[in-house]
């Protein structure tokens, strides 16, 4: 399937041409709709790879994950000068620490907006997040001088909900589209920076295509982000087929449509009731149930946990999670990478051996 996907630079250039604002957004959960009502376009920052990490290393401990190291280095090298503001969700201690460093020490030209997320799915958690989003609305209103109405917010929410439903359809049709892993995830990950309406157009186009179904060894890919992306090419070359994922940048953000008429509660519902995620405090039992159900629905034979080194929320649960999955007959492998480096040969070798074991 041949598809032209705009680059981040092209999208940012178009935003600036239309006098929109750019928000550099750190992982993971936030409301795209809230930003868009202020004509602010989120461009997500998952690292990125291939930067001089010494620039950020002067402010961070060596055991902080490479996503935070690379993001700070990217900022200090001037690559985020195009951004008008930075939104930093409190996903983990490392990202909260990054927000504190930027607010109290480095103080970049861009405005810094933290976003605090609850760690549960109780009514109190939902209320807390709705209030937090309302507070962010007030801060963005002061920042832009705009005051979007509830109707504006609900229209933006429904636009994002439609885009997310199309992304869910892409996952369901993947094996019938004749698309390999690397090309599929290039499309899915364009959701990180494309406006919802542009992503929806691409998704519609992709859903109209069909090809020879790819009959690879079915697996689930779990973790934060598939960087370096060559891991997907490696899985392709080794006859692996990612039939579903539990990636923070992708599958964990297959948000269901909200149900409320209050826009802030509706935005909060979508995040609170998203798929299980250790950064939001979901239990190991919830994750085991979710992953085993995913395997049963897709025919996946095993799970590759592809983790960023020093990612505490991920790695803390992993031993118990893998043991529980093993007890129900679902094999797994765990590999750790630094997103700034090429895919290590030993990681590729271990993935190949795992796929061969699943196919035996």
Packing angle, helices 150-173 and 263-272, rounded to 10: 30
DSSP 139-172: HHHHHH-----HHHHHHHHHHHHHHHHHHHHHHH
- pLDDT of residue 215 exceeding 90, the answer is no
How many Cβ atoms are within 10 Å of 278's Cβ, its own excluded? 23
For residues 68-77, give the mean pLDDT: 95
Mean confidence (pLDDT) of the chain: 95
Q: Which residues lie below 8 Å from residue 167, measured CB to CB, with a gap of 6+?
A: 188, 191, 199, 203, 254
d(CA 296, CA 102): 44
- pLDDT of residue 144 exceeding 80, the answer is yes
- pLDDT of residue 85 exceeding 70, the answer is yes
* End-to-end alpha carbon distance in the chain: 30
For residues 170-176, give the mean pLDDT: 91
For residues 77-102, give the mean pLDDT: 95
Return the half-sphere exposure (C-beta side, CA atoms, 13 A cut-off) of residue 273: 13
Q: Which helix (H) or strand (E) holds 215?
A: none
CB 40 within 8 A of CB 23: yes
* Sign, CA torsion 237/238/240/246: negative
CB 121 within 8 A of CB 272: yes
What pLDDT is stored for residue 178 in this prediction?
Answer: 85
Write the CA distances from 303 to 263, 285, 315, 324, 354, integer angstroms: 37, 16, 15, 13, 10
d(CA 315, CA 118): 20
What pLDDT is stored for residue 34 in this prediction?
Answer: 98
What pLDDT is stored for residue 49 in this prediction?
Answer: 82
- Length of the chain in residues, anyone? 360
302-308 and 217-223: which strand pairing? parallel
What pLDDT is stored for residue 2 in this prediction?
Answer: 65
Domains delineated in the chain = 8-119 (3.40.50.11890), 151-359 (3.40.50.11900)
What pLDDT is stored for residue 50 in this prediction?
Answer: 84
Helices and strands per DSSP (H, E), number in the chain: 14, 8
CB 203 within 8 A of CB 179: no
Over 24-43, what HEC string results?
EECCCCCCHHHHHCCCEEEE
What pLDDT is stored for residue 1 in this prediction?
Answer: 59
For residues 309-317, give the mean pLDDT: 94
What is the per-residue pLDDT across 237-266, written as a single tens digit (0 to 9) for each? 999 999 999 999 999 999 999 988 999 999
């Amino acid at each position: 399937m041949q598809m032209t996907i705009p680059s981040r630079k092209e999208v940012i250039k178009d935003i600036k041409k239309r006098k929109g604002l750019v928000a550099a957004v750190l992982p993971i959960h936030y409301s795209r709709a809230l930003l868009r009502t202020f004509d602010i376009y989120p461009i997500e920052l998952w690292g990125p790879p291939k930067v001089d990490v010494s620039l950020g290393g002067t402010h961070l401990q060596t055991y902080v994950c490479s996503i935070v190291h690379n993001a700070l280095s990217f900022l200090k090298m001037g690559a985020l000068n195009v951004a008008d503001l930075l939104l930093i969700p409190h996903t983990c201690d490392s990202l909260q620490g990054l927000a504190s460093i930027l607010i109290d020490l480095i103080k970049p030209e861009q405005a810094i907006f933290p976003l605090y997320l609850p760690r549960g799915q109780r009514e109190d958690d939902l209320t807390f997040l709705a209030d937090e989003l309302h507070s962010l609305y007030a801060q963005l209103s002061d920042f832009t001088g705009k005051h979007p109405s509830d109707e504006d917010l609900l229209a933006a929410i429904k636009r994002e909900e439609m885009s997310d439903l199309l992304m869910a359809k892409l996952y369901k049709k993947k094996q019938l589209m004749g698309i390999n892993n690397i090309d599929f995830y290039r499309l899915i990950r364009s959701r990180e920076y494309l406006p919802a309406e542009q992503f929806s157009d691409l998704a519609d186009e992709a859903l109209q295509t069909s090809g020879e179904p790819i009959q690879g060894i079915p697996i689930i890919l779990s973790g934060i982000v598939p960087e370096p992306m060559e891991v997907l090419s490696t899985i392709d070359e080794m006859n692996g087929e990612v039939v579903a994922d539990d990636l923070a940048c992708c599958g964990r953000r297959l948000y269901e449509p909200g149900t409320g008429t209050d826009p802030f509660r509706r935005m909060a519902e979508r995040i609170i009731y998203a798929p299980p995620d250790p950064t939001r405090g979901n239990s190991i039992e919830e994750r085991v149930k979710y992953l085993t159900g995913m395997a049963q629905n897709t025919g996946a034979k095993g799970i590759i946990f592809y983790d960023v080194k020093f990612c505490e929320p991920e790695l803390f649960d992993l031993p118990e999670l893998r043991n529980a999955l093993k007890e129900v007959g679902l094999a797994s492998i765990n590999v750790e990478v630094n997103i700034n480096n090429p895919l290590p040969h030993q990681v590729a070798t271990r993935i190949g051996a795992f796929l061969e074991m699943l196919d035996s």
